[in-house]
Structure 1
Amino acid sequence: MTGPLRGLPLRTRLALLVAAAVAVAVAACATAAWFLVRAQLVASLDDALRDNRVPDRLVVQLVRAGQCRAVPEEQRRAVPNLFDSTVQIVDRNGTSCMVFGQQPLPVASSDVAVARGERPEALHTVTADGTEYRVLTTPLEGTSAAVTAARPLAEVNGALETLALVLGLVAATGVLGAAGAGVLLARAGLRPVDRLTGAVEHVARTEDLAVRIPVEGDDEIARLSRSFNAMTAALATSRDLQQQLIADAGHELRTPLTSLRTNIDLLVRSEETGRSLPPEDRRALLESVRAQITELAALIGDLQELSRPDAAAGGHLEVVGLHETTGRAVERARLRATGITVTCELTPWYVRAEPAALERAVVNLLDNAVKFSPAGGTVEVTLDGGVLRVRDHGPGIPEHELPYVFDRFWRSPSARSLPGSGLGLSIVARTVRRSGGEVVLRPAEGGGTEAVLRLPGAPVPPPDHPL
């Protein structure tokens, strides 16, 4: 809202708008009523002029006698002239003479037209000596003249003035009442907004995201309250996840850092004391330091990937061949799968995903299968109809641990001694979910674990995809 109302409180603006709307409506109704009543009163006056006109016989006698004078008192009492009408005669030349009344009236062209027989009658309003008259002119039978009867409009104007005063008082009362009702309605209607404002201010002041607003009904305020509750719940969940991520990351970082510090302390002490370590021990110590640094780098990379929101994770989605991505991931896994055989059977399947993130997800599934495969074991990879299966022949995952395998930093108690941060499968789930698919881990028939990844796509690329 712009203009002078911008700086006013919302309640005041609503009350003023209600009062203004009622004022316009009342003014329109009052104006219409005033004009309607005026038309009715003028119509009634016209009917009275027609019904109470002076008998033509008296006026005809005066015209034939060549007289044009006021009717004598004794004749006036014998002839009904209700409301003291002003009566005058108008001839075809526009000359007039007074019969009844004290104030001669101006002759209009319509009156002359009636005297000439050009019009059946004439109704109009004239002003004489500052007084308005309603005039009716009718032809005078048997003569070439017309008779004009007029009555003052004072009786109509007086009633209209009284009506205008009454309508003004009613309108003012209505506007004041509407303003008061607007204040009450604004106060009642904005009470939920006040609660919402108080809750927002409380959250801003205390950062207490457990605040919930009671929701009643299904109107806009209820929708706003539900949206606020959903927002605070989402923020609380996000903050809890953030705190959990920080705590888990700190816990996971502590172990390699402690081991790294211990190994470096041993190397430093050896140099400071001059007692050189045996070459084999020194080589093993350096290899351990290198492995721990590699593990830290991988952990930090995984944390950076998971710390980004879903909307910003990865790059631009594009059409990629899942069979081609899986083939590259298998080659990378074979380089690290010492003593493990990785077989693959792939049929074409094209999906919409971020290429680098999708390949990393498949590599994580393969690394997980290789890590839990026994020496000399086999990892089977198949892709058919958009379903990618990675099956190992390791010890398998207990049934009660399956719901947690995609949680961040979760690792099976039996795998705590193996390398890894517990983030690989979380990244897999995140990437697959962003591409509109799903991934599950389940026990395989005959032992081991099978990872099943499903992505929507097609066996042939779209026409605009470069082959």
Structure 2
Amino acid sequence: MRRMVRFRSLPLRSRLAILTAVAVAAAVTASALLCWFFVRGTLMNSLDNSLRDNRMPPGRVVDQLRAGLCTTEPPASDDQVPNPFNSTVQVVSRTGASCVIQGAQSLHVTSADTDVAKGTLREALHTVTGSDGNQYRAVTLPLLNTDGAYTVARPLDEVTESLNTLGLILLAVGGLGVIGASVAGLAVARAGLKPVDRLTRTVEHIARTEDLSVRIPVHGDDEIARLSASFNAMTAALSSSQELQQQLIADAGHELRTPLTSLRTNIELLERSEMTGRALPPQDRRELLSSVKAQMGELAALIGDLQELSRPQAVQGGGPLQTVAFHEAVEAALERARLRTGPDLKITAELAPWYVRAEPGALERAVINLLDNAVKFSPPAGSVEVGLHGGELTVRDHGPGVPPEDLPHVFERFWRSTSARSLPGSGLGLSIVARTVEQADGTVRLEPASGGGTTAVVYLPGGPTPPAGDDT
């Protein structure tokens, strides 16, 4: 466990190099072992075939046996007798007794040798130990027309020496291969992890400096390239969000400054009147208090709009999407709008049933914002016409209208046309409308109305009846 923890604590480059070396070492070891065993089997088969092919003829063995040339002690070496393979020939009786005809050592008699001497086994091919302590490869064959068998053996050194040499060669080659694989693995790891290193340096730079404008170069379409592209997209989104946040703070500060300055001025006038003992005329005092009250209401509305826009889009309005009767939300908004207007302004409506997927509170607030906007720009004794047909809501006023050059900006935060800057409002109402409609997969636009004024058009997908089994 400790070794595993230590391994995981190593840099990724080192781990890749180690894993490459281990994998190559395992492959080289397996290949070397297979090669060694294959060569061993080939050499042993060659030695066995040589023993069978170059053995002493049985007739000659019998002749030497009858001539008394078979002794229990190995005969003294005779340089005149050729023995190029240093072979040994030994006769084995049924009882297991043995004598040596050729060779400088005797061989251990096994049960397989006596079985061949008894005639129960045709041949015995095995490895035996000689009297000199060395290993011999031996084949035991029956004697013709004679009770017994004879063993022909050759030293196993001629095979083991070659195998030992091969093993050393394989060990050296394998070691060099593992070292080369480690170096190559480290080089490959360095080359392959360069994009990761760039990504790491970029992330560390962003974490250190909070500079979201940095981008990672993207080359190709592999996994690293896709990761880099995703990271660039993430930083771009974060940078955009940061810019919008800074813009929102700056715009909010600018919008809050005007009512706060006016409030401060009016309150200072009231305070100076109390401190000096010089009472303001009743009419001026009432106007100051009305102005303070209006500015407090404007501040409250601005703060409410800011809170609404500061919420994530997924939770805007404070609740999940559900099936809503669009016409009922419009009716509720109309009731609230009529309470805010004077008796001179007339609001008419023609509403057809329509059901949409939206958040009820946010939808009603969006309709109220449209109505408030139409009321604000309507002339005295004017009218506002509201219609809902086929999912399309229209709110038409008879005010001065919106200049064509201002139409692309009407749904931006804090944007107010030149003619509207003297009127109350925060410049956030239409931004909230656009956000609510977008959340419900709808569309919204302002367009000039025939005969003057402006028409706000909102379309929300849905149907004239609620979905089956849906509680509304």
The alignment partner of 1:328 has SS state of: helix
Residue 261 of structure 2 corresponds to 258
Task: Using structure 2 for the length normalisation, give the TM-score.
Answer: 0.89
CA distance in 2, matches of 1:149, 1:360: 109
Q: How many percent of aligned residue pairs carry the same amino acid?
A: 64
CA distance in 1, matches of 2:79, 2:149: 20
Matched, 1:314 2:317: yes
Pair 119,251 (structure 1): closer, same or farther in 2 beyond 3 Å: same
The alignment partner of 1:84 has SS state of: coil
Q: Which of 448, 451, 461 is the matching residue for 2:456?
A: 451
Residue 461 of structure 1 corresponds to 466
Pair 115,382 (structure 1): closer, same or farther in 2 beyond 3 Å: farther
The alignment partner of 1:368 has SS state of: helix
Unaligned runs of 5+ in 2: none
Shift of 1:332: 1.3
CA distance in 2, matches of 1:161, 1:18: 28
CA distance in 1, matches of 2:46, 2:367: 97
Residue 336 of structure 1 corresponds to 340
Pair 72,234 (structure 1): closer, same or farther in 2 beyond 3 Å: closer
How many residues align structurally?
A: 466
CA distance in 2, matches of 1:117, 1:388: 113
Residue 115 of structure 2 corresponds to 113
Pair 57,75 (structure 1): closer, same or farther in 2 beyond 3 Å: farther
Pair 357,61 (structure 1): closer, same or farther in 2 beyond 3 Å: same
Residue 90 of structure 2 corresponds to 88
Conserved 8 A contact 1:52-1:81: no
Give the AA of the match of 1:340.
L
The alignment partner of 2:28 has SS state of: helix
Q: Which of 134, 155, 158 is the matching residue for 2:158?
A: 155
Matches within 5 A, 1:129-208: 129=131, 130-208=133-211
Q: Deviations over 1:88-108 (max 9, x none)?
A: 233444443322223222233
Q: Deviations over 1:58-110 (max 9, x none)?
A: 124456778744899999978x8651322223344444332222322223333
Conserved 8 A contact 2:75-2:102: no
Conserved 8 A contact 1:54-1:81: no
Residue 222 of structure 2 corresponds to 219
Pair 122,401 (structure 1): closer, same or farther in 2 beyond 3 Å: farther
Matches within 5 A, 1:328-407: 328-338=332-342, 339-407=344-412
Conserved 8 A contact 1:329-1:362: yes
Q: Which of 14, 18, 21 is the matching residue for 1:19?
A: 21
Shift of 1:435: 3.0
* Alignment root-mean-square deviation, CA: 2.8
Residue 58 of structure 1 corresponds to 60
Give the AA of the match of 1:137.
T
Task: Using structure 1 for the length normalisation, give the TM-score.
Answer: 0.90
CA distance in 2, matches of 1:393, 1:201: 58
Q: Which of 77, 91, 102 is the matching residue for 1:100?
A: 102
CA distance in 2, matches of 1:282, 1:64: 154
Unaligned runs of 5+ in 1: none
The alignment partner of 1:216 has SS state of: coil
Pair 353,77 (structure 1): closer, same or farther in 2 beyond 3 Å: farther
Q: Deviations over 1:180-238 (max 9, x none)?
A: 22222222222233333332333333332222222222223222322332232222222
CA distance in 1, matches of 2:329, 2:124: 101
Give the AA of the match of 1:35.
F
Q: Deviations over 1:102-128 (max 9, x none)?
A: 322223333333344444422222233
CA distance in 2, matches of 1:371, 1:14: 69
Q: Deviations over 1:355-404 (max 9, x none)?
A: 21221112112212222233343333333343333333333322222221
